[in-house]
Amino acid sequence: MHRRAYFLLERDFQELKENNFKGITAFPVSEDLMEWGASIQGLQNTVWQGLFFQLTINFTSEYNLVPPVVKFLTIPFHPNVDQNSGRACIDFLDNPAKWNTSYTLSSILFTLQVMLSNPVLENPVNLEAAQMLIKDESLYKQIVLRFFNQPSQLRDDRPESLKDPDKFIRSTKAVSFNDYYKTWSGIATSKATEYYRSPLPEDPHFIGEYHKWKKLELKHPREWNLK
């Protein structure tokens, strides 16, 4: 089983090196390829543009039958990222039953990159970020940039409500993979896909699902274009 996981991760690593995907890097930090470091850059024409986020990715010998554990080391102030653990609230990472063996390391990283500028507000794990984005988008942008530029002061600089974890009830319902890509295809920031469409053809299941979702009419209360 471990040999199979090693082979698949070598394949994923080779895919990253050959395609040189813009705004995404990943590299193994252990000889058995089970532990990785990665970084993603925010999409162009969004508040996240130019911001780099460091992540850790931990695989098991059962990859790719089960998803890896992915955490942000540079934790963004984001509705779908747990502010304490750094875990992204994406169902196919949290629930092995929703994982698909066609997903690769590139697929995971691109989903996280898209998630930054396309938050799903119906199921926020960081309720404070979601409420701020809804009530005052300008303030939300300022907090996003302040958190990134002053990482050592994250805890002290947070709004008062963030310092009291009992003040708000967090939703632990994961946002579905489908929701992210339906949102991506339907809002203004979808024009950025012209820069980041290269991984999709590598995965027939991925591109098939993408075109299916693109045909759906997205009904959303407003467009969250964080320019």
Q: Which of 26, 51, 75, 89 is catalytic?
A: 89
52-58: strand order across its sheet: 24-28, 35-41, 52-58, 69-72
DSSP letter, residue 222: S
How far apart (Å, rounded) are the C-alpha atoms in residues 70 and 35?
A: 10
Nearest to 105 by CA among 201, 199, 1, 2: 199
Contacts for 192 with CB less than 8 Å, ≥ 6 apart: 43, 44, 45, 46, 117
Residue 25: φ, ψ to 5°: -140, 150
Is residue 68 part of the annotated active site? The answer reads no
Matching residue, tokens 């999709």? 200
Active-site amino acid positions: 89
